[in-house]
Chains A and B, each alone.
Chain A
Amino acid sequence: MIRALKKRILAGVSLLAVTGLVVSGIPAQGAATPGVTKDTITLGMSSAQSGAASPGYNKVGPAMRAYFNYINEKGGVYGRKIELKLEDDKYVPTNAVNKVNKLILRDKVFALVGNLGTATHTAALKKTPIIKQSVPDLFVNTGYSGFANPKKYPTTFMYLPSYIMEAKIMAKYIKDKFPDKKVGILYQDDDFGKDGLAGFKAGGLTFVAGGTQKYASLSQATVGLTAQMTALKSSGAEVIILFGVTSATAVAMRTAAGLGYGTTWGPQFIMGSVGADPTTLLTLAGATTPALQAATLRSLTGALSLSFLPAATDTEDEYVKKFIEINTTYNKGVPWDNNVLVGMNQALLIVQALRAAGENPTRASLISALKSKGGTFASAGYSKLESANNVGYTGYWVGRYNSTGVIAPVDGGKPVVYTTDSSTANGDVAVSTFTRPAMPADGVPTNK
C-alpha cells in the first residue's frame, strides 16, 4: 500500500519537476517599453517620506509630482501625462530594496527618478533589477561619488555635486578664510560621510585631535549627539563642519546651544548642503512658539552652508520665481523651501530628458539622450550638469544664514560658484565660468 503510494508520488513528482524545468526555460516574451503607454509615462521614486531622516526630504517627491502635474496640464510630454509613483523607504536600506523591487517589478515604471540616500540606493542597486533590466535611474538625491560610475552602474545618473566635490570646495574655503583656526567635523558614518572625508583629505584640510566625530545614520533622533558635540567642544575646534542629514544638523545645533553656543562658546559652524535647509531646521528645532523660533534662528545666524542652486529665498531668480508660482497652485499648502526647489528643478530636468528621448521613448533612448544632451538642459543649477559621465552638478557657492534664517552669499551680491571634480588625487578648486541657460518660457521645456 505504502509502496504503491510512494511510486505514484514519485511519478507525480518527476512529472511536475520536468514541467517546471521546461516552463522555467521558456524565455520571456518581448514586450513594449515598460511604463510607457499611449497616454502616460510612469516614473518611480523611493525616498524617506517618514521616519527619523525624513523631515525636509519628504517634500522633494511631492514637489516633483507638482511640477509634473503642471506639465501635464500644459499637454504633458508629447501628449503623455507623467505619473510619479512615490514609495516610502524611511531611509532604511532593506526597505529601499523592497520598494524599488515593487516599483520595477509590480508597478513596471519606465524609470526611477530622484531616489534618495546613499546607503539605501546602494542596497537597491545591489538587489533590484535596475542594472539587469537597464532601468534608467535618474538624478539620485545623494552626493555619493560612487554612483557616477558608468561601468558599474550604467543607468545611474547623479544630481547633486558629489560629496567629494563639496568637501574639496569647503576645504579650500576654510583654508582661505580661516587659515589658522582649528577645524573639527561631525560626519555620518557611512559612504556619505566617508566620501566627504576623502574630499577633505584631497583638499588638504586637517582636523584637530579629538575633532573627528561621527554618528550612525538614523541614530541621532534616538540617542542624541551630546557625546559627539561635547567632544568637539573640548577638542577646541574653532571651525566645526556638520556633514550629515538635516535631522542630524538640527540635533547638533540644539545640543550645541545647550553647551553654550552663542553665549560662552563661539565656533564657526559650516554645514554640508544636504543638511542645511533653514525651513526644515526651524521645524525640527520645534520652533512652534515665537520664543523658540527666535532661539533657533539665533543658533543658526552666522552659520555657513553650501548650495548648488539659488537660495530658495532669492525671488529675483527666474527659476525660483516660476517654481514658487507652480508650488502655490500645484502643491497647495506646502511651504516653499529649498527641498521644494530641489524637487521642482529635478522634475524640470526629467521633463527635458524625456523630451530628448524622443516621441516614442525607450529606456535606451532616455539614457543616450541624457548622456548626449544632459549638459545643455535648462535648470536652476549654477554649475554644469556633467551627465555625459553620469555626474551631476559640479559646483557650489558658500552662503551665510542671516538673522531671519535666510542663506545669502557670504560677500553679498551674486554667489561666487566654485567648481571641481570628484578626483581624490588633488584638491584643485576653481571659480566657475559656467553660464546658466535661461528658464524655458512659462517653465515648460520645448527641447528635442
Chain B
Amino acid sequence: MLVVRSSHKPSATKRTILALIVGIILFVGSNFIDEYRIFQGAQVAAYLVGIVSIVLLTGYSGQITLGQGAFMAVGSYSAALAVQEFGLPIWITFFIAVLAAALFGAIIGISAGRLSGPYLAGATLAFAVGIPALANAIPILGGEQGLSFDIGYAPGKYADTVSPYKWLFWICALCAIIAVVIAVNITSSGLGRQWRAVRAHETAAALCGINPARSKVMAFTVSSGFAGLAGVSFSATVGLVSPSGFTLALSFLLLTGAILGGISHISGALGGAIIVVIIPTVFESWTEEASLGVATYLPGIIVSALLLLSIALAPEGPSEALHKLRRKH
C-alpha cells in the first residue's frame, strides 16, 4: 500500500488512484467490521497522521522531535476554539487546525532551526511538557476538562443509518489518506530531496545552493501542519480537547510508533500506528483476568521491548529492513 521507493516511484496520478482504491476498500470494508474495531481504526488513522508528521521531520529532514504532542495540541485547541468561539462548521476546523499548527511550527522552527541533535530534542521536549500545562492555565481553554469537540453524526438522512463510529472512521481515514498522499508527494518532490540533502550533509547541501536553515524551518512548518491534522483527528475520536490528552507520553508513543514502523519511510507509519493502538488492547485483554496491575503496565513494557529490539536489530525500522531485503533480491 502506497509503497514508495527511491528507485521506482509511481507517478502522482497513480498515487492518487491508489489512494482512491484504498479509500473505497476502507469505506466498503467498514460495513463488515464490528463497531469497536471501527473505533480502533479511527484511532489508527489519527496516530498514522501523527507518525507521518514525525517521519517527515525526523526521517526526511533529520531533526529530532520529542514534542509532536504539543503541535497536535495546538491544532486541536485551535479547532475546538473555532467551533466554540466562532461557531464555524466542523469541516473547516480541520483546515484551521492544520494552519494554526503549521504557523506555530514555523515560529518554533525559526528558533529551533538553530539547534540540532540533543539540543533540539530538549527544546521540543520542553514544548511537550509546557503546552499542556499552559493550556491548563488559560481559562478560555477549559482547564483540565478541556473543550468539547464533537464531529456529530453523518449528515441528513444518513444520521440514523450510519453509526457514529463509522462516520468517525470515515472522517479520520479520509484525513489519513489525504495526509499520506500529500506526504508522499512532498517527499518525492524537490522539497523532499532538499530535506534529505540537508539531513545527509548540511555543508554539501549548502554548496548545492540549498539554504539549510530555510529547509529546516520549512520541514518544521510542514510537519507541524500534519501534527495539527493528527491532533484534530485524535480529538474527534475522543470528542474532547484536554491537556491530559496531549501528555508527554503521547509524544513518546508517536515517536515509538515512528521508529517501530521505520522512521525513514512514510509506508512504515501505518505499521507503527497499528502497533501503538492494537498492542495495548491485545495485551490488556490477555492479561486483565490475571491481574489488573499486569494489564496496566504490560503493554508499555511490550512496546518498549519492541522499541529496543527494533533499535538493536533494525535501527532504521522494519520497513527499511524489508526494503533492503527486496533490493537484494
Contacts and interface: CB of A to CB of B under 8 A. Distances in A.
Interface of A: 2, 6, 9, 12-13, 16-17, 19-20, 23-25, 27, 49-50, 61-62, 85-88, 92-94, 97-98, 101-102, 105-106, 119, 122-123, 126-127, 129, 132, 189-191, 216-219
Contact of B244 (A6, A20, A23, A92): A92
A102 B288 CA distance: 13
A217 B35 contact: no
Given A101-B36, A216-B144, 7 more contacts: A20-B24, A94-B242, A105-B34, A122-B145, A189-B143, A216-B143, A219-B133
List of 4 A-B pairs having minimum Cβ-Cβ separation, nearest first: A127-B239, A105-B36, A106-B36, A23-B31
A437 B21 CA distance: 65
B322 interface: no
B242 to A, nearest CB: 6
A109 to B, nearest CB: 12
A123 B239 contact: yes
A270 to B, nearest CB: 23
Contacts of A24: 31, 161-162, 166
A218 B144 contact: yes
Nearest to B154: A24
Residue among A24, A86, A129, A217 facing the most chain B CB atoms (10 A cut-off): A24
Nearest to B246: A94
Nearest to B148: A126
Contacts of B36: 101-102, 105-106
B65 to A, nearest CB: 21
Given A16-B27, A98-B238, A119 B162 contact: no
Contacts of A189: 143-144
B295 A88 contact: yes
Looking at chain A's contact residues, the main secondary structure is: helix
A127 B146 CA distance: 14
Nearest to B32: A23
A98 to B, nearest CB: 7
Residue among B21, B30, B238, B245 facing the most chain A CB atoms (10 A cut-off): B238
A6 B21 CA distance: 11
B150 interface: yes
B240 A127 contact: yes
A391 B243 CA distance: 30
28 contacts: A12-B21, A13-B20, A13-B24, A17-B24, A20-B27, A23-B31, A24-B31, A50-B293, A86-B292, A93-B242, A93-B244, A94-B238, A94-B242, A98-B43, A98-B238, A102-B36, A106-B34, A119-B144, A122-B145, A123-B239, A126-B148, A127-B150, A127-B238, A189-B144, A190-B145, A216-B136, A216-B243, A219-B133
Interface of B: 13, 17, 20-21, 24-25, 27-28, 30-32, 34-36, 39, 43, 133, 136, 143-146, 148, 150, 161-162, 164-166, 237-240, 242-245, 281, 288, 292-293, 295-297
Nearest to B13: A2
Contact of A126 (B237, B240, B292): B240
Residue among B28, B32, B288 facing the most chain A CB atoms (10 A cut-off): B28
Nearest to B235: A94
A132 B244 CA distance: 26
Given A24-B162, A190-B144, A93 B39 contact: no
Contact of A217 (B144, B148, B165): B144
Contacts of B43: 98
Nearest to B146: A93
Contacts of A190: 143-145
A217 B238 CA distance: 19
Nearest to B143: A189
A13 B296 contact: no
A13 B27 CA distance: 11
A2 B150 CA distance: 42
B25 to A, nearest CB: 8
A94 B245 contact: yes
B20 A94 contact: no
Contact of B245 (A25, A61, A93): A93
A78 B291 CA distance: 28
A219 B21 CA distance: 46
A252 to B, nearest CB: 17
Residue among A16, A94, A101, A216 facing the most chain B CB atoms (10 A cut-off): A94
A98 B166 CA distance: 16
A189 B144 CA distance: 7
B253 to A, nearest CB: 13
B265 to A, nearest CB: 26
B106 to A, nearest CB: 28
Given A105-B39, A127-B239, A218-B244, A50 B136 contact: no
A25 B158 CA distance: 8
Contacts of B21: 9, 12-13
A167 B34 CA distance: 45
Nearest to A191: B145
Contact of B39 (A85, A101, A122, A219): A101
B234 to A, nearest CB: 8
Contacts of B164: 129, 132
Contacts of A132: 164
Given A88-B295, A94-B242, A126-B150, A19 B28 contact: yes
Contacts of B161: 24-25, 27
